[in-house]
Amino acid sequence: MAVASTTLAPERAKPMTREEKKVIFASSLGTVFEWYDFYLYGSLAVIIGAQFFSQYPESTRGIFALLAFAAGFLVRPFGALVFGRVGDLVGRKYTFLVTILIMGLSTFVVGILPNAATIGIAAPIILIALRLLQGLALGGEYGGAATYVAEHAPQGRRGFYTSWIQTTATLGLFLSLIVILTTRTIIGEAAFADWGWRVPFLISVVLLGISVWIRMSLSESPAFQKMKEEGTRSKAPLTESFGQWRNAKIALIALLGLTAGQGVVWYTGQFYALFFLQSILKVDGYTANLLIAWSLLLGTGFFVFFGWLSDKIGRKPIILGGCLIAALSFFPIFTQITTLANPTLERAIETIKVSVIADPAECGSLFNPVGTRKYSAPCDLARDFLSKSSVRYATEAGAAGEPTRVRINDQEIPYVAGAATAETNKAVLAGLQSAGYPKAGDAQIVKMAHPFDIFRAQTGGIIAMLFILVLFVTMVYGPIAAALVELFPTRIRYTSMSLPYHIGNGWFGGLLPATAFAMVAATGDIYYGLWYPIVFALMTVVIGLIFVPETKDRDINTYEHA
């Protein structure tokens, strides 16, 4: 049964004043800086792993760095609960002023934090604590900014005004990439890995100062101010939001029917695309980041376009339409990216038959989303090596007790575990490359000579594919703030909308890259991880069509549940 939609006939709203537009711009600009801070860690996870987890083997450092990065996503819903409650009790302005202070200062401290070689185990402990603070702050930021802007926006234009906030995550990512690439270019890779990685973190203190100055000049949301003067604020926003079924069910529907699908489409189009280029197609980091940066630059304006369009035709058709089109398009788009970025690999996948032949009793599951499992059986080690080498393989059952071997077309290579594993991997790799798999630095793998090397068919074609993925992101993300704000009444709006948003994005979306790659590793199919976003996007389409009401015509200043 669908949730009741109380649609009120709004009075004609006066156009927003210049001062109100300035306030909304300032709010969005501050959020750009917050996302810049948050994305720095993700972009520099490998270097940070070497700096702060040096007590572990090299193969393990990156895993711990990524787990610390994931911790920031996992605590976001708790930040939504903490700061959402404060925002509904104290006010929108002061709450998201606090969130940016926490976020910015935590990021700056990462830039001056001594590494493990200097202060030992204290370094990674402090680093993880700072990541948790960043995640908590970000959990409170989005709901405050979206609620604040929506409550300033004229009736009938909320989609357009809140869509400017939606550009901030992409612009923050873009800004972090530009600062990192510029710093690397100026000081060189060796110096960047040694000390230069700190520069983008230290620069954030300048951005923090600008953001705080801007937000100090903001006035409180008129809807909250009116509610405060009338004494109608919620005394227990958490209990009212999630302890009463009429409100809790809307939060659940918002999660499953809007933000879960939006989150997986968003992370596939930006983060997993970058991961796919680097880790699976073996494109160098400089080129992969530039390709993503160009697609973001070309696509960001569509956040505002789809926000504006949602004021005309509704939030549901655009968000759910984006989820549906993305789900139907992911396989052909990523296949085309492979064709363009690493054609040698694509030919090898299509023409070379690779099998791991082993006693089934020796072959376990390779599903390892957190990356902490260690394999010892030859069958598992062989399959793990092949998947990390982007090789499509099949597992064939051998006789009981039969030694494990890797078959490459008609050539068989015994796979020996233990001290000989490294030599065995070299032999397997040589056999793969002899059969036609690409060598490191293969001339056909896309490589950009400079940032404007975009007019060749290869680079231009990849950017076009990535742009389509970003277009899907803008469809699902552009109208989402307005849709969430309109689902909940003013007295519990900050609390109620923040939690489903951050579970959908922080958990369903944030865990996507690691889970999708684990699915690839477990199956030997470089495209198998795409089933993760496809399934959740289609789930959102079905649930959203049945249960989510259309809300674009609601007057949020007077809306209460029927």
Find the CATH number of the domain harbouring 387.
3.40.30
Within a domain: 5: no
Q: Rounded to whole angstroms, how far apart are CA atoms 283 and 287?
A: 7
| Same domain membership, residue 412 and residue 284 | no
Q: Quick one: what percent of the chain has pLDDT higher than 70?
A: 89
Within a domain: 561: no
Task: State pLDDT tens for residues 523-534.
Answer: 889 999 999 999
Tokens of 249: 């069910």
pLDDT at 490 over 90: no
Within a domain: 7: no
The pLDDT score that the predictor gives to residue 505 is 84
What is the helix (H) or strand (E) element at residue 407, kind and residue range? strand 405-408
Domain boundary among 435, 468, 501: 435
Q: Rounded to whole angstroms, how far apart are CA atoms 398 and 382?
A: 14
Q: HEC states along 216-263?
A: HCCCCCHHHHHHHHHCCCCCCHHHHHHCCHHHHHHHHHHHHHHHHHHH
| Same domain membership, residue 398 and residue 294 | no
Q: Rounded to whole angstroms, how far apart are CA atoms 529 and 555?
A: 41
Tokens of 451: 């940032």
Phi, psi of 234 (to 5 degrees): -70, 135
| Same domain membership, residue 325 and residue 388 | no
What is the helix (H) or strand (E) element at residue 378, kind and residue range? helix 378-388
| Same domain membership, residue 248 and residue 308 | yes
Binned at pLDDT 50, 70 and 90, residue 255 comes out as very high
For residue 280, CA distances in Å to 272, 375, 379, 405, 526 come to 11, 21, 21, 23, 7
Task: State pLDDT tens for residues 27-83.
Answer: 777 677 767 877 787 778 778 888 888 776 665 666 677 677 777 778 888 888 888
Q: Quick one: what percent of the chain has pLDDT higher than 90?
A: 38
Q: Rounded to whole angstroms, how far apart are CA atoms 496 and 489?
A: 9
| Same domain membership, residue 188 and residue 288 | yes
Phi, psi of 405 (to 5 degrees): -145, 155
| Same domain membership, residue 421 and residue 484 | no
> Which amino acid appears at position 138 of this protein?
L
The answer to whether 333 and 463 have CB atoms below 8 angstroms apart is no
Binned at pLDDT 50, 70 and 90, residue 559 comes out as low
| Same domain membership, residue 417 and residue 509 | no
| Same domain membership, residue 459 and residue 327 | yes
Domain boundary among 435, 458, 480: 435
Q: Which of 217, 294, 276 is nearest to 453 (CA)?
A: 294
Average pLDDT over residues 541-562: 82
CATH number at residue 131: 1.20.1250.20
Domain boundary among 384, 408, 435: 435
| Same domain membership, residue 302 and residue 227 | yes
Q: Rounded to whole angstroms, how far apart are CA atoms 287 and 189?
A: 14
Binned at pLDDT 50, 70 and 90, residue 323 comes out as very high
Highest mean pLDDT (candidates 131-145, 278-292, 459-473):
459-473
By mean pLDDT, which of 15-19, 372-376, 439-443 is the weakest?
Answer: 15-19
Within a domain: 11: no
Within a domain: 560: no
Average pLDDT over residues 318-341: 97
Tokens of 560: 């209460």
Task: State pLDDT tens for residues 182-236.
Answer: 898 899 888 998 999 999 999 988 888 888 888 787 777 666 677 766 665 666 6
Tokens of 559: 């809306």
| Same domain membership, residue 521 and residue 464 | yes
Q: Tokens 């949730």 map to which residue?
A: 3
| Same domain membership, residue 221 and residue 130 | yes
Instruction: State the number of CA atoms in the 13 A half-sphere of 69 facing the CB.
Output: 24
| Same domain membership, residue 337 and residue 404 | no
The answer to whether 109 and 208 have CB atoms below 8 angstroms apart is no
Task: State pLDDT tens for residues 77-105.
Answer: 888 888 888 877 777 778 878 888 888 89
Burial class of residue 365 (count of CB atoms within 10 Å of its CB; 0-12, 13-18, 19+): exposed
Within a domain: 323: yes
Which residues span the domain enclosing 391?
349-435
- Domains contained in the chain, number: 2
How many whole angstroms from its chain centre is CA 443? 31
Within a domain: 309: yes
Within a domain: 101: yes
